[in-house]
Amino acid sequence: MKHINNQSGNENETDKIWAVLMHLSFNFAGGIVRWGGIRKEFEPDQSLWDAAIHKMAEQGVNMAVINLDDSIAWSSHPEIALKNAWTPKRLREELAKIRKLGIEPIPMLNFSATHDAWLGEYAKMVSTKDYYKVCGNLINEAIDLFGAPRFFHFGMDEETIRHQRSDRVIMRQNELWWGDLYFFISQAIRRRARPLVWADYIWEHPDLFYKMMPKSVVQCNWYYGEEFDLNKLEGVRKQQVQAYLDLEAHGYDQIPTGSNDGIFYSPKANTRSFSNTVEFCSKHISDKRLIGFLQTLWAPTIEKYRPNIMEGIELVGAARKKYEQENGK
């Protein structure tokens, strides 16, 4: 193994990131209905978690973005935790295992009002004094637990009416959305963790996005289809692909994001999403602003989804191998 030069576990911070998003929490609201509603107990299967992490190491994945949410028994807010949630001590032990395999662990807490069911009662207090206190405490505790992580993913996707399926609809917009985003990212920046966000705000509000979004925030634009020819795309899919080009034109650092999630594009219909994302973005985004790539696995970490999770990781490995062969890495 190469020399690790920082606490994060990353072998070389100048290398491209090849990341996979893994879920400890199930309660990322938009998809809860698919799995039977809000969970009250910690459910991820340890054997699958271990197998996935080892598969990442085998396939050359060098970063694990970990969706934490209510799956940790937070010292600052234990009332949020699921039954049998990992203790802070347990999380640290798991992070140590990940680092030993040469993988850099990164925390994720999605504060989008569409995806914050994990906050429990605090999800109903968006943009209040109590809300900021809780969110600030959680962000800082996560940074402490991860030991000065290089990045922190805040989600912030799909905060629109059409994406909300619960009985209670909460949506920030305009200055309120931006004010809360600035609060979240400031918590990370002052601790020297660079913020990541999903970039889909740009699809519907490009002018405001370019006016308000700091260049310090890494954009994880996402598109889960296989077709990247803009002449063959229309509607939201065309917006998704075009966003990669527009973000580059405006000088934003990017971590383009794909997925092999058949839920969105019929089973097995998007196994080329990640590889095609790598191919397209490598051609159209400056190497100095193309930080890396992220594969999303929008499924709980349970045995039922083992094939999807393992396949998603293997697709990253194949794409990395091809990219490095073509680019002489």
In a domain, 11, yes or no: no
What would the two tokens of residue 71 be? 């799956």
In a domain, 270, yes or no: yes
In a domain, 8, yes or no: no
In a domain, 10, yes or no: no
In a domain, 181, yes or no: yes
Average of per-residue pLDDT across 45-54: 97
Contact 140, 187 (CB under 8 A): yes
Nearest of 305, 291, 299 to residue 62 by alpha carbon: 291
- In the chain, what's the furthest Cα-to-Cα distance? 53
In a domain, 12, yes or no: no
In a domain, 176, yes or no: yes
CA distance 201 to 197: 10
Indicate if the pLDDT at residue 33 is higher than 90.
no
What would the two tokens of residue 313 be? 């990781």
pLDDT (tens digit per residue) in 259-313: 998 554 445 568 999 999 999 999 999 999 999 999 998 888 999 889 999 999 9
pLDDT (tens digit per residue) in 145-175: 999 999 999 989 877 666 666 666 777 888 9
pTM: 0.92
pLDDT reported for residue 12? 52
Indicate if the pLDDT at residue 178 is higher than 70.
yes
pLDDT (tens digit per residue) in 225-247: 999 999 999 999 999 999 999 99
| Number of domains the chain is built from | 1
Contact 63, 10 (CB under 8 A): yes
Which residue range(s) make up the domain with 195? Answer: 17-326
In a domain, 7, yes or no: no
CATH number at residue 270: 3.20.20.80
